[in-house]
Amino acid sequence: SRMLRCVVMVMMVVAANTAEDGEGDTTPSSSRSSTFVHSSLSFSPPPYLPSTAAPSSLSSTSPPSSSSSTDGSGDSLVWTQLGWVTGVQETSTKGRNFYSYYSIPYAKPPLGKLRFKDPVEGDPWKGVRVGSREPPPCLQIPFHNITSGDTQLIGQEDCLYLNVFTGKPNRTEAGLPVLVFIHGGAYFADSTTHYPPHVLLNEDIVLVTLQYRLGILGFLSTEDEVMPGNQGLKDQALALRWVKTNVRQFGGDPEKITIFGESAGGGCVHFQILSPKTDGLFARAILQSGSAICPRSLGDAHKDVAYHTAAVVGCHQWDSYELLQCLQEARAEELILTLPKYFQWRYLPLLLGPRVDGDFLPDDPEVLARDGRHKKVDIISGIMSHDGGSFVNGMYDREEVRKSLQERFSVLGPVAMSFKCTDVNPLLLTLRIFDRYLGGMNLDQADPDDVMKMFTDRHFAVCHDLTAILHSRNSIDPLAHTSSHQPNHQPCHQTSHQPSHQTSHQPSYQSNHQPSHQPCHQASHQANHQASHQANHQASHQTSHQPSHQASHQANHQANHQASHQTSHQTSHQASHQANHQASHQTSHQPSHQFNHQPSHQPKTYTFELQYRGERSFTDRHNLTFGKHWVTHSDDLIYLFNSEEFELTRPADLALRDLFTKLWTNFADTGNPTPDSSLGFIWEPTREAHLQHLVLSPSPFMQNDTRHQEREFLMSLPTRQYRLLLGKDNPHLDQLVCTHTQEEPATHSTTSAANTLHPMKLW
């Protein structure tokens, strides 16, 4: 055994010298610069030891009688189902040694005939795979490049790798809890590079970070069995299956796997909860500023995007099979470079993302969550108190971004609010939101705090609340949890919510129903034309809040009038009722939707809000005079992953980092972030009748619901999503699907846009 380890150490030295001679940097990430900012680097394939150099005992593709061991000198051999891997020793921020196994392949490279296809489990390798450096990012235009207009590419198509970090590989006693991180990046950017392990490995856990196909390569679909889409989600699922199978060899407990993600990564975590294809692969989940029912989570018009993308790269076939063959032969770089063509305002709309394919995602996320058709797992879900600051920073950092939104409001307003054509008149709904939060459309006169609040509620906060409500109960009606706004820091008491006069049941949603994807010809040309005219009239003549309130009243009336003609009588009655009456008169008597299976362990849902603004924040990247107090999107990552850009030095910040890691670790281990009183407080789970969240700060405390009125307002809007959440399914809504286009009037004048822009080309 000692001789075997010596041979392996020599082999590792040889491999490292070879890498230094021209195969790339093998410096452990503890001594590398690790930030959340993408860099334009060139990447080589991860190194491995060829079978000719491996001892015969390690060249076998069958597991040995024992899984080898660690000798304390920095090398550690681990057997996986596909072959041997060895890692590098690193040190956590508190001086604890651990082992890093970078760039382990969990699938065959998705090249050639595997492009746009479901991932395939990787082939076994001979010899010892050396996991000494980060995998290449999946091919992408980095996020900050997209928002700044730069189209420089990084990464490569061969990118389906994961990293494993553990302090105790090959341990024989009870396994450690496992945390699996899924990165965000709006489904088109980011990688594992920006999420180093040195903070979380202060705790006794196994950490796994994974990569998945992004953008065009990860979510393109012809909306049929040839290219069903969701490749990125399926990559994650295969990686989770790899973890379930192999994590015991790294010292992890396969029965204590917790998946967690931030932003789009949080949405991905929720999709994995909702998908039947990942049953049994994890026990718990953490959603950070993301959910499958947030407005930007589902892609839109996949088929239109697929054929437009194909035409750009020279593929003009109409048959899906022929189109796929042509796309598989196209240059990957050319495919990725088509992505910015679909963005109209910053990185919106997000046309490429997960879709309801009837298989991996069998129904709308709202319906699956509403009806309890999902895994019954413990959940943590939370947001930053100023998540919407990520939008506002970009608006005020670059004047043209704010100016374009205001001048082309009839086109870009609904895009900024992520409304879809399946919603009843997106422009009028946008007017209602702007009037509610800003008193109109004049962004130059609006308070940035109000703009931030508007984006936070629409894109993050309300969908987070609804996710927590749906997963913490068995029945429907997200508005029925309380009848009035409750004061903060006071014990919450369950209140009865009496049903209103409307008692008839809504039609049930068919579990096998899939939304159609036909052009939205059913929408009212006149209504949209009037909406454009109204918006432009407002922009030209609004000098005070009074005209905007009149416009909002007209928008209310018009949206509800349109609803009465586009949906069933009962549904339109509900839409009008919600838009014009107070909460005390709103409908609450909805059909009950029971879980399909009652688990022996009743899962709990814990919610949080990060309200503490430390010394470092992602807002610091913007040279603005406001927002210095904002706790903005991604600020939670500063406390979970170390970064030179966001190095923490203040005692309060370091204390919050310790609290974050302890809560996440406790949850992964027991399903309860505070299983005892050792942290000085108890994090209580939320309930439908008692919404409460933990305020994360160096001195945490429980806080009662603070957004009842905001939820009430947004859910009064007659959107398809909110109707589904309320159980008001209507087949007519599924027949309204936008045809996305980049066609616009020749002039940027708002008035001329209203006169020349076809109503169904708002997108």
DSSP string, 120-132: -PPPP-SSEEE--
**What does residue 486 show for φ and ψ, rounded to 5 degrees?**
-105, 140
- 338 and 395 part of one domain: no
Two tokens, residue 186: 């709006």
Question: What is residue 279's predicted lDDT score, i.e. its pLDDT?
Answer: 97
CB–CB of 728/506 below 8 Å?
A: yes
**What does residue 235 show for φ and ψ, rounded to 5 degrees?**
-60, -45
List all residues 6 or more positions away from 525 whose beta carbon is below 8 Å from its beta carbon.
759, 760
What's at 491, amino acid-wise? P
Cβ-based neighbour number of residue 686 at 10 Å = 28
Cβ-based neighbour number of residue 475 at 10 Å = 16
Rounded (10°) CA dihedral 53, 56, 57, 62:
100
- 337 and 395 part of one domain: no
Closest to 589 measured CA to CA, from 508, 501, 507: 501
Question: What is residue 89's predicted lDDT score, i.e. its pLDDT?
Answer: 95
Single residue among 303, 327, 342 that ends a domain in this structure: 342
Question: What is residue 172's predicted lDDT score, i.e. its pLDDT?
Answer: 60
DSSP string, 672-709: -S-SSSTTSS--PPPBTTB-EEEEESSS-EEEE---HH
What is the pLDDT confidence band of residue 518, given thresholds at 50, 70 and 90? very low
Strands 206-210 and 161-166: antiparallel
Cβ-based neighbour number of residue 715 at 10 Å = 20
Predicted confidence (pLDDT) at residue 392 exceeds the cutoff of 50: yes
**Least confident span in 269-278, 405-414, 566-575:** 566-575
Q: What is the mean pLDDT of the chain?
A: 77
- 138 and 199 part of one domain: yes
The residue written with tokens 């379930």 in the block is 244
Closest to 218 measured CA to CA, from 357, 122, 354: 354
Average pLDDT for residues 131-156, to the nearest whole number? 89
Q: How many domains does the chain have?
A: 2
Bridge partners of 53, per DSSP, are none
Predicted confidence (pLDDT) at residue 519 exceeds the cutoff of 90: no
CB–CB of 413/638 below 8 Å?
A: no
Question: What is residue 379's predicted lDDT score, i.e. its pLDDT?
Answer: 98
> Is residue 373 a part of any domain in this protein?
no
More confident residue, 30 or 669: 669
The gap from C-alpha 52 to its chain's centroid, in whole angstroms, comes to 43
Average pLDDT for residues 668-672, to the nearest whole number? 98
DSSP string, 187-207: TTS--GGG--STTGGGSS-EE
Single residue among 322, 342, 362 that ends a domain in this structure: 342
Average pLDDT for residues 673-699, to the nearest whole number? 95
Rounded (10°) CA dihedral 718, 721, 722, 723:
70
CATH code, domain carrying 256: 3.40.50.1820
Strands 176-182 and 161-166: unpaired
User: 3-class SS at 230?
Assistant: coil
The pTM assigned to this predicted structure is 0.76
- 139 and 34 part of one domain: yes
What is the pLDDT confidence band of residue 54, given thresholds at 50, 70 and 90? very low
Q: What is the spatial distance between Cα 343 and Cα 310, in angstroms, rounded to a whole number?
A: 17
CB–CB of 307/400 below 8 Å?
A: no
Single residue among 312, 342, 372 that ends a domain in this structure: 342
Task: Give the full edge-to-edge strand order of the sheet including 378-384.
Answer: 88-91, 97-105, 161-166, 206-210, 176-182, 252-262, 284-288, 378-384, 605-610, 692-696, 701-704
Mind listing the pLDDT tens digit for each residue in 707-760? 999 999 999 998 999 889 888 655 444 444 444 434 333 333 333 332 222 222
User: 3-class SS at 306?
Assistant: helix
- 317 and 416 part of one domain: no
Predicted confidence (pLDDT) at residue 207 exceeds the cutoff of 80: yes
- 336 and 396 part of one domain: no
Two tokens, residue 452: 């931030």
Cβ-based neighbour number of residue 248 at 10 Å = 17
> Is residue 528 a part of any domain in this protein?
yes
From residue 392, alpha-carbon distances to 250, 451, 489, 613 in Å are 43, 7, 30, 17
Helix boundaries (H) for 57-185: 143-148
Strands 692-696 and 701-704: antiparallel
What is the pLDDT confidence band of residue 600, given thresholds at 50, 70 and 90? low
> Is residue 512 a part of any domain in this protein?
yes
Predicted confidence (pLDDT) at residue 763 exceeds the cutoff of 60: no
CB–CB of 698/652 below 8 Å?
A: yes
Q: What is the spatial distance between Cα 719 and Cα 737, in angstroms, rounded to a whole number?
A: 13
Mind listing the pLDDT tens digit for each residue in 657-666? 999 999 999 9
- 395 and 336 part of one domain: no
> Is residue 348 a part of any domain in this protein?
no
Mind listing the pLDDT tens digit for each residue in 264-274? 999 999 999 99
Average pLDDT for residues 395-403, to the nearest whole number? 84
Cite the beta strand spans of 95-185 per DSSP E: 97-105, 128-130, 161-166, 176-182
- 337 and 399 part of one domain: no
Cβ-based neighbour number of residue 588 at 10 Å = 17
- 637 and 723 part of one domain: yes
The residue written with tokens 């000692």 in the block is 2
List all residues 6 or more positions away from 412 whose beta carbon is below 8 Å from its beta carbon.
344, 345, 404, 405
- 150 and 246 part of one domain: yes
Strands 97-105 and 88-91: antiparallel
- 401 and 327 part of one domain: no
DSSP-derived secondary structure letter, 460: I
Question: What is residue 533's predicted lDDT score, i.e. its pLDDT?
Answer: 52
Q: What is the spatial distance between Cα 691 and Cα 703, in angstroms, rounded to a whole number?
A: 9
List all residues 6 or more positions away from 513 whose beta carbon is below 8 Å from its beta carbon.
363, 731, 734
Average pLDDT for residues 515-543, to the nearest whole number? 43
What is the pLDDT confidence band of residue 513, given thresholds at 50, 70 and 90? very low
Mind listing the pLDDT tens digit for each residue in 76-110? 899 999 999 999 999 999 999 999 999 999 999 99
Q: What is the spatial distance between Cα 104 and Cα 398, in angstroms, rounded to a whole number?
A: 40
Q: Give counts: helices (H), strands (E), the chain.
A: 23, 14
Predicted confidence (pLDDT) at residue 628 exceeds the cutoff of 60: yes
Question: What is the percent of the chain with per-residue pLDDT over 70, rounded to a whole number?
Answer: 68
Length of the chain, please? 763
CB–CB of 633/649 below 8 Å?
A: no
> Is residue 657 a part of any domain in this protein?
yes
Question: What is residue 570's predicted lDDT score, i.e. its pLDDT?
Answer: 40
Q: What is the spatial distance between Cα 656 and Cα 361, in angstroms, rounded to a whole number?
A: 37
List all residues 6 or more positions away from 695 whose beta carbon is below 8 Å from its beta carbon.
608, 609, 611, 701, 702, 703
Mind listing the pLDDT tens digit for each residue in 446-497? 999 999 999 999 999 999 999 999 999 743 344 443 333 444 443 333 333 3
From residue 356, alpha-carbon distances to 133, 188, 220 in Å are 36, 18, 13
List all residues 6 or more positions away from 253 whose beta carbon is below 8 Å from its beta carbon.
174, 175, 176, 177, 178, 247
What's at 584, amino acid-wise? S
The residue written with tokens 């990430």 in the block is 29
> Is residue 385 a part of any domain in this protein?
no
More confident residue, 644 or 530: 644
Predicted confidence (pLDDT) at residue 387 exceeds the cutoff of 90: yes
> Is residue 99 a part of any domain in this protein?
yes
What's at 495, amino acid-wise? T
What is the pLDDT confidence band of residue 75, given thresholds at 50, 70 and 90? low
Average pLDDT for residues 150-172, to the nearest whole number? 91
- 435 and 337 part of one domain: no
> Is residue 177 a part of any domain in this protein?
yes
CB–CB of 337/300 below 8 Å?
A: no
Mind listing the pLDDT tens digit for each residue in 226-253? 999 999 999 999 999 999 999 999 999 9
List all residues 6 or more positions away from 736 whose beta carbon is below 8 Å from its beta carbon.
421, 422, 520, 522, 523, 566, 720
Domain that holds residue 193: 2-342
What is the pLDDT confidence band of residue 424, given thresholds at 50, 70 and 90? confident
